[in-house]
Amino acid sequence: MSRRYKIVFAFDGTAYAGYQFQENGIAVQQKLEEVLEYLNRSPVRIFGCSRTDAGVHAKGFVAHFDFDKPIPPKNLIRAMNTRLPEDIRVLRAAYAKPDFDARKDAKGKEYRYFLYNADILPPHLVPYWAFTYRKLDVAAMQKAAAYFVGRHDYVSFAANPHREISSTVRNIFSFTVKKTGPRIVFTVRGDGFLYKQVRSMVGFLVRVGKGEEPPEAVAQMLRDTPARTARVPTALGRGLFLWQVFYR
């Protein structure tokens, strides 16, 4: 009898063209499906909670799939990790209800963005930290981040919003900016995010931190919803982690 599984996995996105199948480059999905096909002895389609872009990382990505010949979740974790490359690791696995959907059932997501703000970026932080040597005004960024919280039309902070089938309105539950020495961590939670929305919001906050935009510009853009322009740069992918996904 076929069984549905929910798995939570982490990956280092450095070597991948993103989570989802891409025309060019290897996707994380591809690596997972190769292993699942081997274990199931026939092709398995895996359904992820979201796309992620090239170079973006995940600490708690969620996906579902069905197995024709079920194996206990604990054995599944070990069997998958034995065959996956080291930069993808299954952390948890469980049987799920037959209609569980990793994307549609997600009630919210948390992303974190890591930015190092000092004269020099230590080489060992390069894979997972964006960097700026320009001294950032953290208080201004915190003020600006707070304006994002709530239900807004984020069309000004999304790349190619035309690709979105439905609305560009999303609900952000919280958005914090914390600085510990040279390490600045942006943490944002919301019910969903548009294409490149997190990196666009962070890109804009960094401009606020540099004094190039006032914090109030966020409120103004969420109100007036101008088309996305060069005012909103996309922060580098390597600083971004899909941290966790929330389900009911």
Residues that are catalytic: 53
Residue 247 is given by DSSP the state: E
Site for its own copies in 74-113 (CB under 8 A): 81, 86-91
Sign of CA pseudo-dihedral 125, 126, 128, 134:
positive
Q: Which is nearer to its own copies, 128 or 173 (CB)?
A: 128
Residue 98 CB neighbours (<10 A): 9
Residue 43 CB neighbours (<10 A): 9
Q: Which is nearer to its own copies, 131 or 157 (CB)?
A: 131
Q: Report if residue 124 touches its own copies, rule: CB under 8 A.
A: yes
Q: Please report how close the Cβ of residue 29 comes to its own copies at its closest, in angstroms.
A: 15
Q: Which is nearer to its own copies, 10 or 146 (CB)?
A: 10
Q: Please report how close the Cβ of residue 10 comes to its own copies at its closest, in angstroms.
A: 5
Strand spans (E) along 97-215: 106-117, 130-132, 150-153, 169-180, 183-190
Q: Which is nearer to its own copies, 124 or 248 (CB)?
A: 124
Site for its own copies in 130-149 (CB under 8 A): none
CA nearest 44: which of 72, 63, 61? 63
The residue within the footprint of its own copies, chosen from 8, 32, 53, 57 (CB under 8 A), is 57
Site for its own copies in 10-29 (CB under 8 A): 10-12
Residue 160 CB neighbours (<10 A): 10
What's the first-to-final CA gap in the chain, in angstroms?
A: 26
Buried b (16+ CB within 10 A) or exposed e, 102-117: beebbebbbbbbbbbb
User: What would the two tokens of residue 35 be?
Assistant: 């292993």
Q: Please report how close the Cβ of residue 16 comes to its own copies at its closest, in angstroms.
A: 11
Q: Please report how close the Cβ of residue 14 comes to its own copies at its closest, in angstroms.
A: 9
The residue within the footprint of its own copies, chosen from 121, 138, 185, 219 (CB under 8 A), is 121
Q: Report if residue 163 touches its own copies, rule: CB under 8 A.
A: no
Q: Which is nearer to its own copies, 6 or 238 (CB)?
A: 238
Q: Which positions lie near its own copies, rule CB under 8 A?
A: 10-12, 57, 59, 81, 86-91, 120-124, 126-128
